[in-house]
């Protein structure tokens, strides 16, 4: 009997040591692991993007007459002091710290368009995947300001992403027939997101744009 009791005590001690070691390892992992980077909402897969592209109305791009960014009220307040820009900066960054006004004061951001990493929020633009002017020429000119506001601040579709500011400025309001991200590894995601957004908002595509999208999607 005493042998059984002794063996039970040894087994109990082993269990206690194992549990303690596991707890320490988990705690250490929680203390040392960097906070995970969130991401833009995932666009539809390539097969769905090809289907969606086939469903889009093809017509010549409309006029820019009457367009202004003011007709797409953007960076509206999302919660408390946080506007859309700050929400995206927090979502797309790593270890982002914000002040009482919700401005990002530190953190790290990886720009998917060009592969650059930044530690100052001022080096980043929040890009509209399908630019506001492009949307205007593709059907948004007929929307209400309320509809355009929803579009310009859409956090649900893959429409907003934090990227290097001068790369975003080089993109301007170009469509995929005129511009694709310089980082080739991101182009598949980019064109899938472009089609996803255009399909959801029932925007049109011109023939050159559609051809460029078809070509890019073949590589996805």
Per-residue pLDDT of 97-132, as tens digits, reads: 999 999 999 999 999 999 999 999 999 999 999 999
89 with 121: CB under 8 angstroms?
yes
Task: Check whether residue 189 and residue 214 sit in a common domain.
Answer: yes
Task: Report the alpha-carbon distance of residue 110 to residue 117 in Å, rounded.
Answer: 4
* 96 band by pLDDT with thresholds 50, 70 and 90: very high
In a domain, 149, yes or no: yes
How many Cβ atoms are within 10 Å of 36's Cβ, its own excluded? 8
Do 58 and 162 lie in one domain? The reply is: yes
Say whether both 68 and 3 belong to one domain: no
Convert the pLDDT of each residue in 194-215 to its tens digit: 999 999 999 999 999 999 999 9
Say if residue 133 is in the same domain as residue 167. yes
Supply the pLDDT for residue 39: 84
Look at the chain and report how many structural domains it folds into: 2
pLDDT at residue 38, as a whole number: 57
Which DSSP string corresponds to 129-177? SS-HHHHHHTTGGGS-HHHHHHHHT-SSSTTEEEEEHHHHHHHTT--TT
% of the chain exceeding 90 in pLDDT: 82
**What pLDDT, in 10s, does the model give residues 159-187?**
999 999 999 999 999 999 999 999 999 99
- Single out the residue of 219, 129, 143 nearest to residue 175, CA to CA: 129
Euclidean distance between CA atoms 192 and 40, whole angstroms: 13
Establish if 102 belongs to a structural domain. no
Q: Is residue 161 part of a domain?
A: yes
Share of the chain above pLDDT 70, in %: 83
Judgement on whether residues 25 and 130 belong to the same structural domain of the protein: no
- Asked if residue 50 and residue 63 are part of one domain, the reply reads yes
Query: Residue written as tokens 């006029």?
Result: 63
Compute the distance between CA of residue 83 and CA of residue 102 in angstroms, rounded to an integer. 8
More confident residue, 5 or 164: 164
| 14 found inside a domain | yes
Q: What is the pTM of this model?
A: 0.83
Residue 50 lies in a domain: yes
B/e letters for 149-179, b = 16+ CB within 10 Å, e = fewer, are bbbbbbeebbbbbbbbbebbeebebebbbeb
Cross-strand pairs, 128: 160
Confidence at residue 99, expressed as pLDDT on a 0 to 100 scale: 97
Q: Is residue 87 in a domain?
A: no
In a domain, 99, yes or no: no
Do 156 and 48 lie in a common domain? Answer: yes
Looking at the domain assignment, is residue 93 inside a domain? no
Q: Of all residues in the chain, what percent are helix, strand and coil, respectively (each to 5)?
A: 50, 15, 35
Place of tokens 């592969």: 115
Residues 1 and 69 in one domain: no
Residue 61 sits in the same domain as residue 2: no
Same domain, 48 and 26: no
**Beta carbons within 8 Å of 217's beta carbon, 6+ residues apart:** 46, 49, 50, 53, 188, 191, 192, 195
Q: Which domain holds residue 16?
A: 1-33
Are residues 28 and 48 located together in one domain of the fold?
A: no
């Amino acid at each position: 009997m005493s042998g059984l009791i002794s063996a039970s005590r040894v087994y109990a001690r082993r269990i206690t040591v194992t549990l303690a070691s596991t707890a320490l390892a988990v705690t250490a992992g929680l203390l040392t692991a960097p906070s995970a980077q969130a991401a833009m909402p995932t666009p539809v897969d390539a097969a769905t993007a090809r289907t969606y592209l086939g469903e889009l109305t093809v017509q010549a791009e409309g006029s820019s007459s009457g367009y202004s960014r003011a007709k797409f009220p953007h960076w509206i307040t999302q919660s408390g002091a946080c506007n859309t820009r700050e929400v995206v900066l927090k979502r797309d960054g790593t270890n982002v710290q914000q002040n009482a006004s919700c401005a990002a004061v530190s953190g790290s951001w990886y720009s998917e368009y060009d592969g650059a990493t930044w530690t100052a929020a001022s080096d980043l633009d929040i890009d509209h995947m399908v630019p506001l002017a492009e949307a205007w020429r593709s059907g948004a000119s007929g929307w209400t300001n309320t509809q355009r506001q929803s579009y310009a601040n859409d956090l649900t579709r893959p429409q907003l992403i934090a990227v290097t500011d001068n790369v975003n400025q080089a993109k301007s309001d170009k469509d995929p027939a005129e511009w694709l991200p310089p980082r080739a590894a991101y182009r598949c995601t980019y064109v899938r997101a472009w089609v996803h957004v255009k399909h959801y908002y029932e925007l049109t595509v011109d023939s050159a744009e559609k051809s460029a999208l078809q070509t890019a999607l073949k590589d996805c």
